[in-house]
Amino acid sequence: MATIQNHLLSFSVLALLNAHLPASLAHTHLNLSSKQLTIHDFTDYDGVFVYKDIEGDATLATDGIVWLEYESPSEMSPAQDDEWIETVFFRQSGGKLNSGNSLSIELKAQNVQSAVGMESNFIDGFIAQNSHHLNLSLNASSTTQTLENAVTWAINDSVLTNEQLPEVIDIKLQTQGLADDAIANALQVSESTVNYKGTLRLSAQDLDQNDRVYALRLYGSQFHFESLGNSVIKGDVRLNQNSKLYLHLSHASDLFEGRIVNSAYESTQSHIVLSSSAKWITHGDNALNRFDWKKDGILDLTHAQDTVRINNHNLNSDCTSTTQIEDGAILRVNIRDSDIGSNHYKLALGEVSPITSDGSRVFVEIIDSRTDKTTDEINVGLISVENVDDSHSKFFAEALPSYYETALGSFKTQGAIGTDGRDGFVITSMVTDRIGASGLVKNILDFTSGATVAHEQNADRVFSAVSDRLSQSQNRGLWTDVRIQETELNLDHRSRSHRIDTKALTLGYDRNVKLPVMNEGIAGLWLSHSQTDSDLEAASGEINETAFGFYLHGITEDNYRLILLGHYGVGDHSITSDGVFGTDLIRKRSHFKEDAQTYGVGLYFGFVHPELSNEWFFEPFVSGYTYWIKRDPTNTFEGVSFQTEKEHQSITKIGVTAGHRITGSAPLSLYAQAAWVHRFGQSMTLEGQENGNAETFKTENLQESWGYLKLSSQWQIDRQFAIGAQASAFASKVVKPKYEIGINGSYLF
């Protein structure tokens, strides 16, 4: 197996072979399109297989995003055990690259030993007036052999200035199946100098959690970067011999999530400037010669399990490390159960030099992840320093109120900070107050209320369709009803909006029967399916229900119409919402799903007026429907699950229906219905579980009254077929149906 040094040597040799190019080389034009590559698309240069080998200036033309995929044949193997078969998608030696306004290439290499997305040797950069955005990603994996090398963009033996580089550089690497000593870098710079001022986005991830994957790696190179905003570096940065690094992050949209790692060479130099709400999330050891921690620069240690060291002391005692602190720097820490009683500090710095004339304060924001948050007095090491430069002003640490969320709650923590008797600081106490439910819980509560309303509307929709059919039509047989409805929920005193959109289909069959002490007896069965989309401010969900039931109809001797309907339904509720999970408080997109069963019964009581002619219809009515909803526990996501208690709700109506029939060969009937409705609602208990700890919450009480007006029509096409339509408008405050429209049809056997 080749060593890392041998592989880097091969880069240099290939670069030298192409270093002195004739000035008369033609300009290369490549029109790239998405393609599944085979070994025949590559040229073999003594074990280095190159898809496009470019010498001199080149133009790459694409139409949108281009993807190229390659899988190495299983029979390919190196001539010797210590050699690699290398796969290079693009290699340019000398000249400039014209990538147009935007170049976006997604590369995938499978079952290879080595994969390089783009190799740039002795290049003169990009044509600046045309180059705005370079987006290059590489997904390299191997299951048949170990992956020894993966580099998305390798820059070798080049000097590049800001004018020679795109405004936005976006480089991504994803690997799987890496060897233990593999090279895996999103951006690799060798024997080069890069001075860049723009937007840099680097990302490196290994699906097997190999920590030797780097967002940026320098070999004998200088890399000077100043962000213009929206720069995101996710992954560690590694410096090898004779390398220098300068990172300046100064915008609220800038983020560095990783460590600075070097190879213990005295010749390396590293310098980070953090200011103006730019954030550095880190853990472990960081080998820095200088850290300029300026006002509003956020050093976030909330994910770190142990001491974070920002110095060179542990790697080489001869190397100096200085942290220059400006008044207003921000430190975020997370206090866990494991911190109580331990002897370690959250942050260890080298020499500290306060640089504000009146004294430099570090503002500390504390997250309390302890199981028991009631204990106030603690003694946790916060910041340790090698020494403070006494020639400068004082260095202070001051706690600020910290507002944050966990999976189930939102909290405020206020700490108190004292000195450790030397130059460092400790957290002496902290008070944590619960503010309320988390954003995730609020979304679950609102979604639960929306699901209740959806089930209620499904039951009432069928009950209303059956009541209208039995009271207004003489047809018996097969019938169908299709409805769509949009409802807006103004929850928590109208501060949170929630919309549900429902589509429902119902099929039914009825026939005339004889019932005891009743005239005009009718019995029927029905089956319905509904799908409701739930749209919350920060979440989305879906409510599905399939229900079936029966109904009976009869008119008493005193001309009272009675309709009895019952139902049983099964369904599921699913919601997707952001949440904060774990002791590291990592924000993730979560998905929760629960199964549900519903059942209920309704009674319609109408006042029939047989004295009216067949052309007119008038019927006051009173109706009620009571129903139950039983929900199973949700699935568990990151140790979090929810369970809602069994629910019982009811609605009642008082209204009147009036209609007129236009006679003829195809009679047309028109109806209007107005009603006052009241929901006998109640709050439900929702229990949230997080890793065995339970908390209870209450949904809103949806009890309210509202009114509606419904207009409908029935057209009797012939003796057997009839079709109809209806539309409803509503007036309410909390649960606000905006409209409901539908069509129906029936066939008389």
Q: How far apart are CA 150 and CA 21, in angstroms?
A: 27
**Share in percent of the chain as helix, strand, coil (round to 5):** 10, 60, 30
pTM: 0.80
Cα distances from 333 to residues 285, 364, 404, in angstroms, run 16, 8, 12
517 token code pair: 């002490």
Residue 733: count other Cβ atoms within 10 Å of its Cβ: 10
> Which residue from 548, 588, 590 is spatially nearest to 569, judged by alpha carbons?
548
Residue 375 confidence (pLDDT): 84
> Which residue from 662, 668, 674, 666 is spatially nearest to 618, judged by alpha carbons?
674
> Which residue from 563, 580, 561, 501 is spatially nearest to 533, judged by alpha carbons?
501
User: Per-block average pLDDT, block size 10, for the chain (749 residues)?
Assistant: 44 45 64 93 92 93 91 67 78 90 93 95 80 91 90 97 93 94 95 96 94 94 97 96 95 96 78 97 92 96 93 58 93 93 90 87 94 87 85 82 94 93 88 94 94 96 95 89 94 74 96 89 96 92 97 93 97 96 89 97 93 86 97 96 95 96 87 96 93 91 94 90 94 92 89
Q: How far apart are CA 626 and CA 454, in angstroms?
A: 14
What angle is formed at CA 172 by the lines to CA 171 and CA 176, rounded to 5 degrees? 150
> Which residue from 268, 272, 241 is spatially nearest to 258, judged by alpha carbons?
272
Long-range contacts of 510-515 (CB under 8 A, 24+ apart): 510/470, 510/476, 510/477, 510/479, 510/551, 511/476, 511/477, 512/476, 515/552, 515/554
Residue 319 confidence (pLDDT): 61
Residue 76 confidence (pLDDT): 64
Residue 709 confidence (pLDDT): 96
* Buried residues in 131-143 as b, exposed as e (16+ CB within 10 A): bbbbbbbbbbbbe
Q: Where does residue 84 rank: exposed (0-12), middle (13-18), buried (19+ CB within 10 A)?
A: buried
Instruction: Give me the DSSP letters along 675-733.
Output: EEEEEE----EEEEEETTEEEEEE-----EEEEEEEEEEEEE-SSSEEEEEEEEEEE-S
* Buried residues in 203-241 as b, exposed as e (16+ CB within 10 A): bbbbeeebebbbbbbbbbbbbbbbbbeebbbbbbbbbbe
Are the C-beta atoms of residues 534 and 576 closer than 8 Å to each other?
no
Residue type, 43: T
Q: How far apart are CA 151 and CA 213, in angstroms?
A: 10
Residues 6+ apart with CB under 8 A from 181: 1, 3, 4, 212
Residue 20 confidence (pLDDT): 43
Coil, strand or helix: which one is 481?
strand
Q: Where does residue 531 rank: exposed (0-12), middle (13-18), buried (19+ CB within 10 A)?
A: middle
